[in-house]
Amino acid sequence: MKRTLCIILIALMTVFAAGCLPVGGCVINVPGTPDPTQDPSLPTADPAATQAPGFTEDASVTTAPDASGQPQNTEHTASNADEAFGQLDLEIFRTLATSSSDTYNQFIVSDPARFGIDRADVTKGWGELTYEAHVESMDHAREMLGRLAAIDRNELSEKNVHAYDMLKRTYETQLLYEEYYYYDEPLTPLNGYHTMLPLSMVCYNVRSLEDVEDYLFLVGDMSRLIDQIGDYESEKAAQGLFMSEKALDQVIESCRNFAGKGERSFLITCFDDVTDKAKELGATPAQCAEYTARNRDLVLNELLPAYSRLADTLESHRADCSPYVGASQRGEKAKAYFELSAKDEGASMDDSSTIIRLLEQMGEDTYYDMCMAVLHGGNEIMNEYGDPMTMGSVEKNLEWLKKFLDQYYPDMPDYSLKYVDVPEDIADDFSPAAYLTPSFDDYYDNLMLLNRTSDGCDDLLTIAHETIPGHMYQHLMARNDPGLSLAQQVFEPTGYAEGWTVFTEKFIASKCFDLGNNYCVMMNCESTFCNVFLPAYISYMVNLRGWNEAQVRNYLDEYGIGDAADIYYEYAVTMPVYAMSYGVGYSYMYDIWKTCAPDSPAAYKAFFEKYLSFGPNYMDMMRDYME
């Protein structure tokens, strides 16, 4: 919530890129046809409340614990508070869904009227990155907190209490950023706006010719937002808060490379995907030719020059670069901002000492499990080191995962899954796989993008992370949960999402006897330790405890990987919260699992069912609910 909510899709995309890498690609579409077995009614907050037409009622639900952890009531009947909260929940969803043509395209597939939405009310473009927009977002958060305060929490149903607490925390956290406007960094080297804006068009679904027009509007509007980012970076420089020179070099190189693509830009070479869909929707050859010409003109004459201007603006501030040190050495306010954003990204507002302790415990246990797997597996698994963990193909991996799901997880709703190859034009910039978040009015059709040029695209755990029982399972269970708040799902903390998926990989590795249990545990633990624990933990040490690169090297020397110190230190300085959703989110999920200690397939199913029943939430709150 550090920036205006109009660019929410970028965050949604980065959540579902395998291996913490940014995703991107051409527009690839799956026709949205509702599953005839699905109930046509759609949930918005608890159905105990009176909702929009077509929403069902359930007058017998149990309320959540209050702050003391004790249940408020043993039974609950729909109340005026439920009705008021349901109306507010739907209003929040409508506001977000219509905040830009980008978010509308992501949230709604075919029937906006079911949510009381008129497409004419959708705000076109990418929104604003200005101080005025920042002030407006803070005022909006205060207004929403006031609206929530007017609702009697003690009279709400259990699901509505969970949603209420989550939304209250979300808006309260947003207000904590009020004094930190210039501390945010939209141009982080790997996944900043300069890379994610063009790549985010991979998520744009063309289902009507009006969608084609909105697509072209978004391509054209990127240049305006890129110019605003340049202005923002100049303002940051004037405040003494400009990026480090190492980050500057990488961002400038990326901008100049993109600007220099010219006719080879993937936004031009992949536009055939858009016109092909337009033809299916009835566009004439002349219309498609006009779409192509407009897109080419927008990319060559507006967007790419904007990237050149941004690179020039950044270069002009080279003398203003911040020192290449952690936040703790750049002042108390920089340190406080890191602490806030790290908690926010990790989805926990516990004190930092608690978060660090959980990270340390997770890291120690992961390293121990890796060593035990090596000890028990002996030379056999060491000889296999580096071999892919796969059943042989994406299809066979999914078949195995379906059987695994049936054995250990609650049943999921019916779905279809289509996987599409990433075009070669953008394969080098794409992660091994990515799952695209399902819409709210038709979640039956699902899409996964596969990068066949990547070694990990058919890895069992990569497929599990993105589909079942990872992101796709998690989201379809939420979409199919009667009464689960729409706004709660929209505001899903990334630490909640990634904590689940990293845990999913560990759980599968521990049960994957078909590929050799010890080998799978060893490989999974090595990946978790190096790619999840170390980036998050070292970032805390650099930015909160003041470690320098030499101290990072000394720490890594204990594990025999001191040569990687420069990489971990660079991530800690230039992208300090990059790994928090994975590292911190998983630390909490792992701790919750250990505390509950399920010990049989039936107990596993019960644990997952209870966990998912609370819906997306902050991990410290999930811990309290699960206890």
Instruction: Please check whether residue 333 is in contact with residue 327, taking contact to mean a CB–CB distance below 8 angstroms.
Output: no
DSSP for residue 448? E
> pLDDT digit string (tens) for 390-418?
898 899 999 999 999 999 999 999 999 98
Structure tokens at 254: 């990326």
Contacts of 250 (CB under 8 A, 6+ apart): 189, 574
- Looking only at the bridges linking them, the beta strands covering 445-450 and 416-421 are parallel
Whole-number pLDDT of residue 425: 66
- What's the Cα-to-Cα distance from 231 to each of 191, 198, 222, 334, 574, rounded to whole Å? 19, 19, 14, 21, 20
Q: What is the pLDDT of residue 517?
A: 82
Of 589, 624, 591, 621, the residue nearest 608 (C-alpha): 589
The predicted pLDDT at position 46 comes to 52
Q: In this predicted structure, what is the pLDDT of residue 315?
A: 98
Separation between Cα atoms, residue 473 and residue 477, nearest integer Å: 6
Predicted local confidence at residue 105, as pLDDT: 82
- What is the mean predicted confidence (pLDDT) over 139-166? 97
* Residue 450: predicted pLDDT: 84
User: What percent of the chain lies above the pLDDT cut of 70?
Assistant: 87
Q: Where are the alpha helices (DSSP H) in 281-324?
A: 285-298, 304-315
pLDDT tens by residue, 26-50 = 222 222 222 323 333 333 455 443 3
**Which pLDDT does position 559 carry in this prediction?**
95
> In Å, what is the CA distance from 194 to each residue of 178, 252, 586?
24, 10, 28
Report the side by side order of strands in the sheet with 416-421: 416-421, 445-450, 433-435
Q: Is 239 helix (H, G, I), strand (E, B) or coil?
A: coil
Q: ∠49-50-52 over CA atoms, to 5°?
A: 125
**For a pLDDT cut of 90, what percent of the chain falls above it?**
70
Q: What is the pLDDT of residue 75?
A: 65
Phi, psi of 49 (to 5 degrees): -85, 155
Say if residues 190 and 199 touch (Cβ distance below 8 Å): no
Listed in sequence order, the DSSP H helices in 108-157 are 131-149
Radius of gyration, CA atoms only, the chain: 24
Higher pLDDT, 445 or 225: 225
- Provide the CA 9 distance to its chain's centre, in angstroms: 9
Place 11 in a pLDDT band, splitting at 50, 70 and 90. very low
Residue of 57 and 625 predicted with greater confidence:
625
Q: Out of 10-19, 140-149, 241-250, pick the least confident.
A: 10-19
Is 0.95 topped by the overall pTM?
Answer: no
Q: Running DSSP on this structure, what letter comes out for residue 99?
A: S
Which pLDDT band holds residue 78 (cuts at 50, 70, 90)? confident
At 4, the amino acid letter reads: T
3-state secondary structure of 389: coil
Average model confidence (pLDDT) across the chain: 86
The answer to whether the beta carbons of residues 446 and 434 sit under 8 Å apart is no
Does residue 69 carry a pLDDT above 70? no
| Segment 330-376, tens digit of pLDDT | 999 999 999 999 999 999 999 999 999 999 999 999 999 999 999 99
What's the rounded mean pLDDT across residues 494-502? 97
**Do residues 388 and 536 make contact, with C-beta atoms less than 8 angstroms apart?**
no
Residue 151 CA from chain centroid, whole number:
30
CA gap 314, 336 in Å, rounded: 26
- In residues, how long is the chain? 627
- Treating both helix axes as pointing N-terminal to C-terminal, what angle do 619-626 and 601-613 enclose, rounded to 10 degrees? 130
Residues 6 or more apart whose CB falls under 8 angstroms from that of 139 comprise none
In this predicted structure, the answer to whether residue 18 has a pLDDT above a threshold of 50 is no
Least confident range from 60-69, 295-304, 429-438: namely 60-69
Euclidean distance between CA atoms 441 and 479, whole angstroms: 9
Q: Which long-range contacts does 100-104 make (Cβ < 8 Å, 24+ apart)?
A: 100/6, 100/7, 100/9, 100/124, 100/125, 100/126, 100/127, 101/125, 101/214, 101/217, 101/218, 102/6, 102/7, 102/9, 102/126, 102/200, 102/204, 102/218, 103/6, 103/8, 103/9
The model's pLDDT over 211-270, given as tens digits with 9 standing for 90+, comes to 999 999 999 999 999 999 999 999 999 999 999 999 999 999 999 999 999 999 999 999
60 — pLDDT class (breaks 50, 70, 90): very low
DSSP state of 37: T
CB 130 within 8 A of CB 235: no
Write down the pLDDT at residue 453: 73
Q: Which residue, among 230, 201, 236, has the nearest Cα to 307 in the 3D structure?
A: 230
Give the mean pLDDT of 131-143: 97
Encode 445-479: b = buried (16+ Cβ within 10 Å), e = exposed.
bbbbbbbeebebbbbbbbbbbbbbbbbbbbbbbbb
Query: Phi/psi at 450 (nearest 5 deg)?
Result: -120, 135
Nearest CA-CA partner of 389 in 452, 454, 458, 449:
458
In 10 A of CB 513, how many CB atoms?
9
Phi, psi of 520, rounded to the nearest 5 degrees:
-65, -40
Minimum mean pLDDT range among 69-73, 179-183, 226-230, 569-573? 69-73
* pLDDT, position 109: 63
CA–CA separation, 2 and 231 (whole Å):
18
- The predicted model gives 316-338 an average pLDDT of 97
**Is residue 166 a contact partner of residue 618, using CB atoms and an 8 Å limit?**
yes
Whole-number Å distance between alpha carbons of 397 and 419: 13
Helix 580-596 vs helix 352-383: angle between axes, to the nearest 10 degrees? 90
Contact 270, 25 (CB under 8 A): yes
Q: Is the dihedral of CA 10, 448, 298, 219 positive or negative?
A: negative
